[in-house]
Amino acid sequence: MRGNFLPRVRWRVGRGPLKLVGLLGLAIAALLLPFVAPDPATTNIAVFTVMYIGLATAWNIMGGYTGYISLGHAAFFGFGAYGLGLMLVHLNITPGYAPFVLVPVAGLLSALLAVGIGWIALRTRAATFVIVTIAFMFMMQLLAENLVKVTGGGGGLGLPYSHDWGGDFFNTPYYYAMLLLAVLGLFVSWWIRRSKFGLGLLAIRDDEDKALAVGVPTRAFKLTAFVISAALVGMIGGVYAYYVTYIYPQFVFDPLIGISMVLMAFLGGLGTLSGPVIGAVLLEPAQLEFAYRLGASRLYLVFYSAVFLLVILLLPRGIVPSAAELLNRRRARTVVS
């Protein structure tokens, strides 16, 4: 029953320092991880987990705050991946740290694409919006497959990679790049949630017509959230492309990537800051493990659908809101007794 703009209530006193210590601990653990567990198998899982923290957080800025469920965010992931890949190939960028400088450009390209897609898709609501975003994602996939002269088509696009990085170190720069983008996504999400803009987005989620009636410029707000979300996803797509060094249309404009970020945000808690992080930390390592063990049969997809069903049935609001409600109930019971 309590929200963000509350006057301080008693049980919250003293939680601040604890939260700060917890966050500091998590930050130190995240920063030291490649030194503590440098083997490539572990850092590879870390790269993908942090990547999905960033993706789910970025998706949440649109889907969680406004309630507009985009299942086509892989379009921006793929566009960022191809954007960075093509820049590296055509601009003859020396592999190493230099390509990371171009990651914001990949984000900018995805943001521009989002202006176009959002301009059209955001004229629709609810299920229609979901379908339109999926359609755009497949259009991008088809374009990447058919513009052979530009993208290499189904044959894929190879990116240069640094031969100086080897062994245990190879994954480390990508890990920190992904971590930086995840932190950027979290900061942007936190800042939006605290701003009047963020409150407008939440109002749109609750009742868009009412939001219009109290002056919220809903189209501008939705488009801004969509573009910010897409820019972050595009940057992450760029780093992903540089990490895997070879990209194919069906693996970057991949509906599974789009669905994964949604599922993680749902599992953790839509519209919350920590929900997408928790969802990604729980699901991505599990997904990698299942894909590793059952990959050839793609049976891991069964695991994914089972998780999705369980979330919808048992935790429709996600872990964070359900846990908060449980805590509040316990506290209320303690106060009564």
Partner 1 sequence: MSLLEISALTKRFGGVIAVDGCSLSVADRSITGLIGPNGSGKTTVFNLVTGFIPRDSGEVRFKSRPIAGLGPDRIYGLGIGRTFQLARIFPRLTALENMLVPVRRAGLRAVLSHGQWRHERERAMEMLDFVEIAHVAGTLGGALSYGQRKLLELAAVMMAAPELVLLDEPAGGVNPALLERISEHIRKLNRQGVTFLLVEHNMSFVMNLCDEVVVLHQGKAIASGKPKAVRENPAVLDAYLGT
Q: Is residue 211 involved in binding partner 1 (CB under 8 A)? A: yes
Q: Is residue 203 involved in binding partner 1 (CB under 8 A)? A: yes
Options 48-56, 71-79, 128-136, 212-220: segment touching partner 1 (CB under 8 A): 212-220
Options 3-11, 34-42, 57-65, 295-303: segment touching partner 1 (CB under 8 A): 3-11
Ramachandran category for residue 69: left, alpha or beta (phi over 0 → left; psi -120 to 50 → alpha): beta
Residue number with CB closer to partner 1 (216 or 262): 216
Question: Which string of DSSP letters, residue by residue, matches 253-287?
Answer: S-HHHHHHHHHHHHHH-TT-SSHHHHHHHHHHHHH
Q: Three-state DSSP class for 59?
A: helix
Min CB(226)–partner 1 separation in Å: 16
Question: Any idea which residue has 């990547």 for tokens?
Answer: 51
Min CB(325)–partner 1 separation in Å: 11
Q: Is residue 213 involved in binding partner 1 (CB under 8 A)? A: yes
Residue number with CB closer to partner 1 (9 or 313): 9
Residue number with CB closer to partner 1 (147 or 220): 220
The single residue among 74, 202, 223, 267 that binds partner 1, judged by CB under 8 A, is 202
Residue number with CB closer to partner 1 (58 or 211): 211
Min CB(122)–partner 1 separation in Å: 14
Sequence-separated (6 or more) residues with CB below 8 Å from residue 117: 72, 75, 133, 136, 226, 230
Q: How many CB atoms lie within 10 A of CB 117?
A: 26
Q: Which of 65, 117, 64 is nearest to 234 (CA)?
A: 117
Question: Do the Cβ atoms of 228 and 66 come closer than 8 Å?
Answer: no
- Cα–Cα distance, 325 to 322 (Å, whole number): 5
- Cα–Cα distance, 71 to 46 (Å, whole number): 24
Q: DSSP strand E in the chain: where? A: 157-158, 246-247
Min CB(214)–partner 1 separation in Å: 4
Q: Is residue 259 involved in binding partner 1 (CB under 8 A)? A: no
Q: Is residue 200 involved in binding partner 1 (CB under 8 A)? A: yes
Q: Is residue 216 involved in binding partner 1 (CB under 8 A)? A: yes
Q: Which of residues 137-196 bind partner 1 (CB under 8 A)?
A: 195-196
Q: Which residues bind partner 1 (CB under 8 A)?
A: 1-7, 9, 195-197, 199-200, 202-203, 205-207, 209-218
